[in-house]
């Protein structure tokens, strides 16, 4: 069982319109609602890959009740979201069918009280003791949650001997890296903000010195670069895929995490992550991928690099 943590879970609502025009009224041609937030997107992709997943984080209010209802319909996904008094946020994605571009509107999330945060920590540590094979800590922090929250959760996972992947940004990333997660997956901008270095390979090495065991940097259309104790590799998609990029990074996390659990070598983990990420761009909603595209890309992802000499 894999555990994903989404402290700022959401109900994702995707509107598709023929053309998005500012200051105009639009006729929506399609509406899709899904459980959202980075960790829930990761969970849905992991489940599609055949892994059983438990999801936790916070849920509250009318939107939280809809979120629980939607999660009950997700195969291979167990809902362990903790209750809060505030209302779960909504995220609205507007897809312009003519251009393929997406406009995203994200609510801030509920304010979490100290008592709710304390109760969550206890339930999280209990989940870790249930034999989780790995844990992913993903996304932004809702109001009220301490900025060092991910560092706290990383240390709890390490104490339970559960491998942990961290995917966040800003000060939460800086503090989380210092707690020594097994993998961090920033994008190039987040990595530069963390380290002050703008060359991805140098920035990834700096992030490892700050505490991360392995660093996998998202480089957009150029794929992923991994700097690990076992070696350094870069994986790139064989062709540029057009569509909705929302959730592509979450699919990459699912690829890395599933590869970790399945004990795949790093080049195979990266190839899977890149293929999943690109295949997600073709999907209209986050947390899903086009299976035929994934299989085609997986066979053609280019991986370069070398293992560290023994």
Catalytic-residue membership of 250: yes
Phi, psi of 106 (to 5 degrees): -120, 120
Instruction: Name the band, by pLDDT with cuts 50, 70 and 90, for residue 113.
Output: very high
Confidence at residue 299, expressed as pLDDT on a 0 to 100 scale: 86
Instruction: Name the band, by pLDDT with cuts 50, 70 and 90, for residue 132.
Output: very high
The candidate with the shortest Cα–Cα distance to 139, out of 216, 42, 217, 279, is 42
| 195-217 confidence digits (pLDDT tens) | 998 888 889 999 999 999 999 99
Confidence at residue 309, expressed as pLDDT on a 0 to 100 scale: 60
Confidence at residue 242, expressed as pLDDT on a 0 to 100 scale: 67
Catalytic entry in 79, 96, 250, 296:
250
Average pLDDT for 213-232? 92
Contact partners, residue 32, CB within 8 Å, separation at least 6: 12, 13, 14, 284, 285
Q: Angle formed by the axes of helices 114-128 and 149-159, to 10°?
A: 30
Structure tokens of 19?
A: 């053309």
Specify burial of residue 191 (Cβ count, 10 A radius: 0-12, 13-18, 19+).
Answer: buried
Confidence at residue 102, expressed as pLDDT on a 0 to 100 scale: 82
| 81-90 confidence digits (pLDDT tens) | 999 999 999 9
Instruction: Name the band, by pLDDT with cuts 50, 70 and 90, for residue 310.
Output: low
Confidence at residue 284, expressed as pLDDT on a 0 to 100 scale: 64
DSSP codes of every residue in 148-179: THHHHHHHHHHHTT--EEEE--HHHHHHHHHT
Q: 60 near 89, Cβ under 8 Å? A: no
């Amino acid at each position: 069982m894999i555990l994903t943590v989404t402290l700022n879970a959401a109900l994702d609502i995707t509107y598709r319109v023929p053309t998005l025009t500012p200051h105009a009224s639009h006729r929506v041609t399609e509406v899709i609602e899904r459980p959202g937030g980075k960790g829930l997107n990761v969970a849905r992709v992991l489940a599609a890959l055949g892994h059983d997943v438990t999801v936790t984080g916070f849920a509250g209010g009318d939107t939280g009740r809809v979120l629980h209802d939607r999660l009950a319909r997700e195969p291979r996904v167990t809902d362990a979201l903790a209750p809060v008094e505030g209302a779960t946020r909504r995220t609205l994605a507007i897809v312009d069918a003519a251009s393929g571009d997406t406009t995203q509107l994200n609510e801030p999330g509920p304010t979490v009280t100290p008592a709710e945060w304390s109760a969550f920590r206890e339930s999280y540590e209990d989940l870790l003791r249930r034999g989780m094979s790995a844990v992913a800590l993903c996304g932004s922090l809702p109001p009220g949650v301490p900025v060092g929250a991910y560092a706290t959760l990383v240390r709890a996972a390490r104490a339970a001997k559960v491998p942990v992947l961290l995917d966040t940004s800003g000060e939460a990333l800086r503090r989380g890296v210092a707690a020594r997660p097994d993998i961090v997956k920033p994008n190039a901008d987040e990595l530069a903000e963390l380290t002050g270095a703008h060359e991805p390979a140098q920035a990834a090495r700096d992030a490892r010195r700050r505490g991360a065991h392995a660093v996998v940097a998202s480089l957009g259309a150029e794929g992923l670069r991994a700097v690990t104790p076992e070696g350094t590799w870069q994986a790139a998609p064989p062709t540029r895929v057009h569509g909705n990029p929302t959730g592509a990074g979450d699919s990459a996390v699912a690829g890395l995490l599933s590869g970790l659990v399945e004990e795949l070598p790093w080049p195979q983990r990266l190839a899977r992550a890149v293929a999943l990420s690109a295949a997600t761009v073709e999907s209209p909603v986050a947390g899903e991928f086009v299976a035929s595209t994934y299989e085609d890309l997986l066979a053609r992802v280019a991986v370069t690099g070398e293992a560290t000499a023994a």
